[in-house]
């Protein structure tokens, strides 16, 4: 069985382009939406994403909506804790495909590391 994990130096989830996420208002509070939009920088990338290291500069203090956790996904998407693993894998694969391509090195690494 595949097990979700955050693959280091991927950063696909750091591509925040609001035009590609029209449903933001459905799962973010007004305050979170304001914070989210304030984090969108050049090319739709998060201002906290370090392109050289491909890591988040504020990972330990990142906002709630940047965390993959049962309570967060339950609140935002109505996902039950037992569904989190599969839902997170699907979300990552969709985002990696959109940002880097479905045959990218990032996708290959993700699939290998989660056991797909």
Whether the Cβ atoms of residue 12 and residue 111 lie closer than 8 Å to each other: no
Q: According to the model, what pLDDT value does residue 97 have?
A: 97
Give the tens place of pLDDT for each residue, 68-89: 999 999 999 999 999 999 999 9
Q: According to the model, what pLDDT value does residue 64 have?
A: 95
Q: According to the model, what pLDDT value does residue 29 have?
A: 95
Q: According to the model, what pLDDT value does residue 1 have?
A: 83
Q: According to the model, what pLDDT value does residue 22 have?
A: 87
pLDDT lower than 70: segments of the chain? none
Nearest to 76 by CA among 19, 116, 25, 1: 25
């Amino acid at each position: 069985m595949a097990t979700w994990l955050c693959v280091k130096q991927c950063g696909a989830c750091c591509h925040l382009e609001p035009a590609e996420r029209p449903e933001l208002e459905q799962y973010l509070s007004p305050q979170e939406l304001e914070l989210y939009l304030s984090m969108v920088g050049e090319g739709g990338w998060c201002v906290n994403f370090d392109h050289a290291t491909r890591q988040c500069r504020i990972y330990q203090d990142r906002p709630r909506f940047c965390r993959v956790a049962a309570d967060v996904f339950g609140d935002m998407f109505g996902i039950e804790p037992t569904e989190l693993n599969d839902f997170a894998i699907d979300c990552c694969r969709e985002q990696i495909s959109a940002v880097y391509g479905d045959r990218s090195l990032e996708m290959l690494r993700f699939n290998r590391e989660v056991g797909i």
